[in-house]
Amino acid sequence: MDTINTKNQKRDKWASKLGFILAAAGSAVGLGNLWKFPYSAGANGGGAFVMVYFLFLITIGFPLMLAAITLGRKTQLSAVGAYRSIKKKWAFVGGLGVVCGFFILAMYSTVGGWVIYYVIKALTGGLAEKNPQVLGEIFGEFITSPGISVAYQGLFLLLTLLIVLRGISSGIEKASKIMMPALFVIMIVIAIRALSLEGAYEGVKFLLVPDFSKINMSVIVNALGQVFFSLSIGMGVMVTYGSYFDRESNLLQAGTSIPILDTMVAILAGLATLPAVFALGFEASAGPGLMFVTLPAVFASMAFGNVFCILFFLLVLFAALTSSISMLEVCVSYFVDEKNVDRVKSSIIISIIIFIIGVPATLSMGPWSDLTILGNLNFFDFYDKLTSNILLTSGGLFLSIFVGWIWGADKAVEEIERNGTKFKLAPVWKFLIKFVVPPAVSIVLLNSFKEVLA
Ligand code: PHE
């Protein structure tokens, strides 16, 4: 097994076979599933959004996930190096991912900070409340206080930094083995409780039954952005994580189980949140605050609700951190692998820069809410659209062209089959990656520009 390749540095490997799956699933499962999916579905017509999401997941998400980890494993390099080692000119795609990493973590840390605050709030019993209005006020008061919310954002980044500094395969992998299943179980319990609330059925219908008249360009653009964001695809995370994969591992298994797991968590989060929205009198289109206002109300109606509330927000925090470390890792490994910068030094400097970029996103929830930087987008919305709808999407487009045409889909299949597994669906995958993903993503991307610039 070749563990040495980049400039005298021994590459860290996943400690166990499950290591990659856990880390990649850890990157994929995060705020995107628990926080963003329910509110995006809520704001984009419910079932219509979910249906388009599924369509993109199957035709674009799955093929790209496999493409990314295969490229990583083949080259054993993080994103920039991976592209460059096959075709020099394409290194820019990796670079684009690094840029994306800065902005995505800048906005992610805003919400990560909210989660930490809610963990503490839950621990001190401050969320034991059923009244939608009061819960809305608790949330609103916090996110609009500049000092506190920025401090929590900083704390979230600090935690992310501390984990990244300890290297790739240590504690996180072990912790994931307990935390991921725990998250899954608690989501099922919460969803069951939410579904048994009086009037919950309306929410289920809203989430799962598509109203075709609601499908418009904005729904399509957001659904594709959500697929990329949720799967951590398009900025080099999966390429980088795939590069720590050894030659014997089963790429097909990894490439399919991660999207499946990721989607199950998103649907569970939707089933925990949206029925409660309808049953308890919240607004489905409430936006980024949806999880923070509705779920405490569900807990308040449960036996041992406070325990569930604490556990839930702790697990959300864990899920958010396993995602944020993957974002930071992309940026750090670029400077370590490409620029030979010391790992500790670059991790710290990058985190500080991300914090500086991120503060305006946090402030745009409060004092800077009217400060727009593009069209009617404030900083938070701008980073959100820029990353999900433009940078990740472009990254995904380039990835498909690169693997499908430049490196070559046949060579990728060869790499996938290297450990002896037969890739039965190879013709389908090749067709999708070469002929479906590039045009489909291009069309949505062009419309994303219109959406963002409008
Ligand atoms: N997939 C992560 C989530 O759902 C977010 C993420 C996006 C992580 C891009 C890494 C890269 O929360």
- Report the separation in Å between the CA atom of 373 and the middle of ligand 1, taken as the mean of its atom positions: 24
Q: Is the pLDDT of residue 168 over 60?
A: no
Report the candidate in 33, 60, 19, 94 with the shortest Cα–Cα distance to residue 254. Answer: 19
Which residue is it, tokens 């674009």? 60
Q: What is the pLDDT of residues 117-139, one digit of tens each?
A: 999 999 998 999 888 889 999 99
User: ipTM exceeding 0.90?
Assistant: yes
Q: Is the pLDDT of residue 51 over 70?
A: yes
Smallest CA separation from ligand 1 atom 9, residue: 232
At 270, which CATH number? 1.20.1740.10
Q: What pLDDT score does 170 carry?
A: 62
- Report the separation in Å between the CA atom of 65 and the middle of ligand 1, taken as the mean of its atom positions: 13
* CA–CA dist 271, 367 (Å, integer): 33
The domain tally of the chain equals 1
Which domain covers residue 445, as residue numbers?
Answer: 4-453
Per cent of the chain over pLDDT 90 is 72
Q: Cα-flanking dihedrals φ and ψ of residue 11, to 5°?
A: -80, 135
Amino acid at 149: S
- Report the separation in Å between the CA atom of 200 and the middle of ligand 1, taken as the mean of its atom positions: 29
* CA–CA dist 249, 231 (Å, integer): 20
- Report the separation in Å between the CA atom of 40 and the middle of ligand 1, taken as the mean of its atom positions: 15
DSSP 11: P
- Ligand 1, pocket-test mutation among 232, 237, 387, 392, most atoms within 8 A of CB: 232
- Report the separation in Å between the CA atom of 304 and the middle of ligand 1, taken as the mean of its atom positions: 31
- Report the separation in Å between the CA atom of 231 and the middle of ligand 1, taken as the mean of its atom positions: 6
Q: What pLDDT score does 6 carry?
A: 41
DSSP tally for the chain: helices H, then strands E: 22, 4
Q: Which pLDDT band, with edges at 50, 70 and 90, does 175 fall under? A: confident
Q: What is the mean pLDDT of the chain?
A: 91
* CA–CA dist 48, 9 (Å, integer): 48
Torsion of CA 314, 317, 319, 321, to 10 degrees: -140
More confident residue, 127 or 3: 127
How far apart, in Å, do the first and last CA atoms of the chain sit? Answer: 51
Report the candidate in 177, 108, 118 with the shortest Cα–Cα distance to residue 314. Answer: 118
Q: Decide the pairing of beta strands 9-10 and 377-378.
A: unpaired
Which residue is it, tokens 């799956």? 21
Nearest atom, ligand 1, residue 326 CA = 10
Q: Which pLDDT band, with edges at 50, 70 and 90, does 4 fall under? A: very low
Nearest atom, ligand 1, residue 320 CA = 12
Q: What is the pLDDT of residues 260-295, one digit of tens each?
A: 999 999 999 999 999 999 998 888 888 899 999 999
Q: What is the pLDDT of residues 290-331, one digit of tens each?
A: 999 999 998 998 888 899 899 999 999 999 999 999 999 999
More confident residue, 419 or 233: 233
Which residue is it, tokens 């014997």? 248
Q: Decide the pairing of beta strands 4-6 and 9-10.
A: antiparallel
Average pLDDT over residues 108-121: 97
The CA–CA distances, whole Å, from 119 to 116, 226, 363 equal: 5, 25, 21
Q: Which pLDDT band, with edges at 50, 70 and 90, does 3 fall under? A: very low
Q: Which two tokens stand for residue 95?
A: 């670079």
Residues with CB under 6 A from ligand 1: 27-28, 30-33, 104, 229-230, 232, 235, 237, 323, 326-327
Q: Cβ(116)–Cβ(319) under 8 Å?
A: no
Smallest CA separation from ligand 1 atom 7, residue: 232
Q: What is the pLDDT of residues 22-35, one digit of tens each?
A: 888 999 999 999 99
Average pLDDT over residues 153-182: 82
Smallest CA separation from ligand 1 atom 10, residue: 232
The CA–CA distances, whole Å, from 284 to 72, 108, 204, 280, 426 equal: 39, 22, 12, 11, 40
Q: What pLDDT score does 171 carry?
A: 63
Q: Cβ(234)–Cβ(99) under 8 Å?
A: no
